[in-house]
């Protein structure tokens, strides 16, 4: 090889050394920071004594049951009344739309404890609406219903955001063509818009459910921490810590939540992969 | 008979088409002239401010005065949009069936089978749109639009996404399909060749309004205004003045020639444009005498553009009086064969004629 060839080769090597080498160290650091706690949790759960026993204590089982019920009910409500709102936000102009849009965004950026205080002020026994309800014999605060309300308040926005974007991505021409083919607006929504927005609806539902499952702050303030009634899994972790008996029960609860989160994230991946195939 | 007379303002744009159509009518105009909006209004997807739309068969679809505004699902108008908008989550069969879901199953199956064979879609019934070629998708979109036996078919540049050979095939198919269907069809295009190939009649739309409505020959041979002449690519639009008018013949003087024009629809005095299509400008063979009455000009080829079967010549013609005006460029189309026979490539100076019977006049302000 000539001298010129050698120096050109050296220059190529030097300048081909990409940014990836420079960024590798901080990236690795960040990955470790995120990965180590989760790994530690799983390792402790698997190596510690009596994971199976801890998973089946009454406290854990009650919390598991309550979390499953409340987060599922929350999801169903979010889908049933969030979908129409998402469609209106995506497709129609109406007075106060900007305000509604902001209201939907608000719980996403608000600390959940603030959401809890707001719900208490509105629906507590002496709350703005709650007082009237109380006179009618209806109490919401510190009941299982309050858990669902707290979860819905913080998690429904994730569903509505995602589904709204999904509806916006469906070209209105499909609905127009469906109507020229004799479809009523409702039929064209069900047969055309919904299927085309389906990946977003599933993704929104997964995000919403995950958020509901991990809800803590709003529930604590608006629903309290009553075992079997308002004590979902995140709250049970706190209760178990406060009782000071051992760290084994919180670990068991945490592992369940990690597993649930992992499954949901996997589902989200699958949905994201099948989505483009529909088009 | 489809009758459209509507008015709609969208921002600065003023859509105000007015025409009647039966059989196959091509709505021709440049991009942004309001062709697609007109179809949307007929289909019921765009509400006019005022006016009236009457569908073939006399059914009233829209009448601002009578407060009639049928929703699209009650108009029974077949509509194929530019990008087809086939439902991507449905198979070809499900797409075709969409408009006849309420029909009893045996009749529905029969109808789908009929359309599948009519459009040559056998074997593709269970494919999704993304599993089909552009031409196949095109046929499915057409079948879907035809399924419910509409009284009117609207086609919005349905072939624009396809390559040229396939476009030609589908145009032929559409022409023969139309003969079997006997269905009023409105075909939108900005492609002049497509307009010419398909049309019985042409509606020329520009900037929201109809400029001319007539048979293909009328539009191409006798444009009524300078703008229409430009849109149908007359190319040679030469300003002149009518000097005299006698027994149906106008004597038109331009800085480059004087022509005797027999055009029954033309103005008989004042300022005009002399219009000649490039294919009606003939290059004269050496020693060949021009016909009596044709305008004969000495011209020099200054530029030419060849396509596979045609040569467009740009010919410079000097003014009659060198002190009065600049040379003018006249465009002539010479097919490949005469181009070779005449030996045009080897010579630049030619005598050309404007065939008298093809010269028309439009008014000039």
What secondary structure does DSSP assign to A23-35, as a single string? HHHHHHHHHHHHH
Look at residue B137 and give its three-state secondary structure: helix
User: A155 and A211 in contact (C-beta within 8 Å)?
Assistant: yes
Q: Given this model, what pLDDT does residue A2 score?
A: 67
For the stretch A32-80, pLDDT in tens is 999 999 999 989 888 877 777 777 788 888 999 999 999 999 999 999 9
Cα(B100)–Cα(B102) distance, rounded to whole angstroms? 5
More reliable by pLDDT, A248 or B42: B42
Q: Please count the CA atoms within 13 angstroms of the CA of A190 that sit on its side-chain side.
A: 5
pLDDT of residue B11 exceeding 90: yes
Chain A residue closest to B144 (CA)? A181
B194 and B46, same structural domain? yes
Shortest distance between the Cα of B205 and any Cα of chain A, in A, equals 23
Q: What SS3 class is residue B280?
A: helix
Q: Which residues of B touch A171 (CB under 8 A)?
A: 85
Residues B308-316, mean pLDDT to the nearest whole number? 93
Distance from CA of A81 to the nearest CA of B (A): 25
Token code pair at residue B17: 């088409």
Question: Min CA distance, B195 vs chain A (Å)?
Answer: 24
Contact A100, A160 (CB under 8 A): no
pLDDT of residue B204 exceeding 70: yes
Inter-chain residue contact B88 with A196, CB threshold 8 Å: yes
Half-sphere exposure of B261 (CA within 13 A, CB side): 32
- Determine, for residues B87 and A182 on separate chains, whether the beta-carbon distance falls below 8 Å: no
Instruction: Report the sign of the C-alpha dihedral through residues B279, B281, B287, B293, in that order.
Output: positive
pLDDT given at position A279: 46
CA B78, B81, B87, B88 dihedral sign is: positive
Where helices occur in chain B by DSSP H, the ranges are 35-43, 92-97, 105-118, 134-146, 164-181, 192-198, 216-221, 226-231, 336-342
Chain B residues with CB-CB distance to A184 below 8 A: 73
**Residue-range definition of the domain harbouring residue B33:** 2-226
Query: What is the maximal distance between C-alpha atoms in chain A?
Result: 96
Mark whether B245 and B202 lie in a shared domain: no
Q: Are B291 and B278 in contact (CB under 8 A)?
A: no
> H or E segment at A80?
helix A58-91
CA distance A211 to A47: 29
Please, are residues B264 and B311 in contact by the beta-carbon 8 Å criterion? no
Whether B322 and B208 map to the same domain: the answer is no
CA atoms within 13 A on the CB side of A120: 15
Q: For chain A, what is the mean pLDDT? A: 89
Q: Measured between alpha carbons, how far is B118 from B95 in angstroms, rounded to an integer?
A: 16
User: What order do you get walking across the sheet with B152-156 strand by strand?
Assistant: B77-80, B152-156, B184-189, B24-28, B201-206, B209-215
Say if the Cβ atoms of B87 and A183 lie within 8 Å. Answer: no
B207 and B133 belong to one structural domain = yes
Q: Among the CATH numbers 1.10.3720.10, 3.40.50.920, 1.10.15.40, 3.40.50.11610, which is that of A50-278?
A: 1.10.3720.10
Using pLDDT thresholds of 50, 70 and 90, give the confidence band for residue B168.
Answer: confident
- Chain B partners within 8 Å of A179 (Cβ): 44-45, 71-73
Number of neighbours of residue A137 by Cβ within 10 angstroms? 6
B24 & B42 share domain: yes
Using alpha carbons only, give the angle B232, B236, B242 rounded to the nearest 5 degrees: 110
Domain-terminating residue out of B198, B226, B254: B226
CATH code: domain of residue B159: 3.40.50.300
SS3 of chain B: helix, strand, coil, percent, to 5: 30, 35, 35
A24, HSE (Cβ side, Cα atoms, 13 Å)? 6
Flag whether pLDDT at B164 surpasses 90: no
Q: Which two tokens stand for residue B254?
A: 């331009």
**CA distances in angstroms from A205 to A73, A82, A258, listed in the order given:** 12, 10, 18
Which among A177, A183, A278 is the nearest to B81, CB-wise? A177
SS (H, E, C) B329-341: EEEEEEEHHHHHH
Q: Closest chain A residue to B45 measured between Cα atoms?
A: A176
The DSSP result for A90-114, as a single string, is HH---TTHHHHHHHHHHHHHS-HHH
CA A152 to mean position of chain CA atoms: 10
Residue B315 CA to residue A99 CA, distance in Å, equals 66
Q: What's chain B's average pLDDT? A: 92
Nearest-CB residue to B85 (from A177, A198, A279): A177
Q: Residue window 173-212, chain A: list those with CB within 8 Å of chain B.
A: 173-174, 176-184, 191-192, 195-196, 198
* Percentage of residues in chain B having pLDDT higher than 90: 70
The answer to whether A179 contacts B73, with C-beta atoms less than 8 Å apart, is yes
CA distance B339 to B326: 28
> Which of B40, B85, B88 has the CB atom closest to A278's CB atom?
B88
Q: At B333, phi and psi to the nearest 5?
A: -105, 125
**Which residue numbers of B have CB closer than 8 Å to A's CBs?**
40, 43-45, 71-79, 81, 83, 85, 87-89, 98-99, 102, 130, 144-145, 147-148
Residue B331: pLDDT band (50, 70, 90) is very high
Q: Can you read off the two tokens belonging to residue A135?
A: 């006179």
Provide, as residue numbers in chain B, all residues whose Cβ is less than 8 Å from the Cβ of A202: none
Structure tokens at B63: 């009448």
Q: Do A176 and B43 touch (CB under 8 A)?
A: yes
A276 touches chain B (CB under 8 A): no
- The domain tally of chain B equals 2
The answer to whether the Cβ–Cβ distance between B85 and A195 falls below 8 Å is no
Among the partner residues B72, B88, B89, nearest to A179 by beta-carbon distance? B72
- In tens, the pLDDT along B104-136 reads 999 999 999 999 998 889 999 999 999 999 889
How does pLDDT run across A170-195, given as a tens digit for each residue? 999 999 999 999 999 999 999 999 99
- Cα A88 from Cα A246, distance rounded (Å): 50
Is the CB of residue B56 less than 8 Å from the CB of residue B22? yes
* Residue A269: predicted pLDDT: 83
Residues of chain A found within 8 Å of residue B87, distances taken between Cβ atoms: 174, 178, 192, 196
User: Which of A173, A182, A184 lies at the smallest CB-CB distance from B85?
Assistant: A173
Confidence check on the interface: ipTM exceeds 0.95, yes or no: no
pLDDT over threshold 60, residue A277 = no
Domain boundary among B166, B193, B226: B226
Query: In chain B, what residues touch A196 (CB-CB under 8 Å)?
Result: 87-89
Query: What phi and psi, each to the nearest 5 degrees, are found at residue B204?
Result: -95, 120
Partner-chain residue, chosen from A180, A191, A278, that has the shortest CB–CB distance to B43: A180
CA dihedral B8, B10, B14, B18 (to 10 degrees): -30
Whether A274 has its CB under 8 Å from any CB of chain B: the answer is no
């Amino acid at each position: 090889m000539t001298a010129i060839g050698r120096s050109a080769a050296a220059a190529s090597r030097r300048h081909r050394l990409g940014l990836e080498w420079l960024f590798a160290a901080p990236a690795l650091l960040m990955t470790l920071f995120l990965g180590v706690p989760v790994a530690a949790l799983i390792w402790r759960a698997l190596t510690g004594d009596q994971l199976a026993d801890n998973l089946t204590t009454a406290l854990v089982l009650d919390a598991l049951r309550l979390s499953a019920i409340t987060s599922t009910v929350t999801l169903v409500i979010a889908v049933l009344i969030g979908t129409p709102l998402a469609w209106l936000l995506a497709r129609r102009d109406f007075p106060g739309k900007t305000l509604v849009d902001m209201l939907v965004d608000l719980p996403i950026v608000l600390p959940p404890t603030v959401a809890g205080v707001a719900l208490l002020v509105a629906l507590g026994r002496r709350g703005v609406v709650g007082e009237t309800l109380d006179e009618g014999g209806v109490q919401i605060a510190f009941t299982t219903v309050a858990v669902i309300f707290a979860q819905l308040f913080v998690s429904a926005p994730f569903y509505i955001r995602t589904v709204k974007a999904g509806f916006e991505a469906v070209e209105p021409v499909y609905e127009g063509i469906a109507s020229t083919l004799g479809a009523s607006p409702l039929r064209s929504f069900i047969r055309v818009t919904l299927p085309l927005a389906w990946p977003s609806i599933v993704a929104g539902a997964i995000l919403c459910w995950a958020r509901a499952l991990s809800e803590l702050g709003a529930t604590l303030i608006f629903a309290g921490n009553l075992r079997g009634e308002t004590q979902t899994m995140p709250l049970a972790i706190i209760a178990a810590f406060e009782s000071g008996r051992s760290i084994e029960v919180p670990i068991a609860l945490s592992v369940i939540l990690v597993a649930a989160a992992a499954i949901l994230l996997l589902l989200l991946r699958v949905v994201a992969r099948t989505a483009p195939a529909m088009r | 008979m489809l009758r459209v007379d509507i008015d709609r303002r969208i921002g600065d744009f003023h859509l105000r088409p007015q025409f009647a159509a039966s059989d196959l009518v091509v709505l021709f105009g440049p991009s942004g002239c309001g062709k697609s909006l007109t179809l949307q209004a007929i289909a019921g997807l765009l509400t006019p401010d005022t006016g009236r739309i009457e569908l073939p068969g006399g059914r009233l679809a829209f009448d601002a005065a009578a407060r009639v505004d049928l929703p699209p699902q009650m108009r029974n108008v077949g509509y194929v949009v530019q990008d087809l908008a086939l439902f991507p989550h449905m198979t070809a069969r499900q797409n075709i069936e969409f408009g006849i879901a309420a029909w009893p199953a045996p009749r529905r199956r029969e109808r789908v089978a009929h359309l599948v064979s009519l459009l040559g879609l056998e074997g593709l019934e269970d494919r999704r749109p993304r599993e089909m070629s552009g031409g196949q998708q095109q046929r499915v979109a057409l079948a879907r639009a035809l399924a419910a036996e509409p009284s009117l078919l609207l086609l919005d540049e349905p072939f624009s996404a396809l390559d040229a050979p396939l476009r030609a095939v589908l145009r032929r198919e559409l022409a023969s399909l139309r003969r079997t269907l006997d269905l009023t069809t409105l075909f939108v295009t900005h492609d002049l060749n497509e307009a010419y190939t398909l049309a019985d009649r042409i509606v020329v739309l520009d900037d929201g309004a109809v400029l001319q409505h007539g048979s293909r020959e009328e539009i191409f041979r006798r444009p009524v205004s300078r703008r229409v002449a430009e849109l149908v690519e007359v190319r040679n639009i030469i300003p002149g003045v009518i000097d005299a008018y006698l027994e149906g013949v106008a004597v038109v003087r331009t800085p480059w020639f004087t022509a005797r024009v027999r055009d029954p629809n033309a103005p008989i005095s004042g300022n005009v444009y002399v219009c000649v299509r490039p294919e009606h400008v003939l290059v004269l063979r050496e020693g060949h005498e021009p016909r009596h009455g044709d305008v004969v000009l000495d011209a020099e080829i200054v530029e030419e553009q060849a396509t596979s079967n045609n040569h467009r010549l740009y010919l410079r013609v000097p003014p009659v009086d060198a002190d009065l005006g600049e040379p003018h460029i006249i465009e002539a189309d010479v097919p490949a064969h005469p181009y070779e026979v005449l030996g045009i490539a080897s010579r630049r100076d030619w005598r050309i004629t404007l065939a008298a019977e093809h010269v028309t006049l439009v008014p000039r302000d």
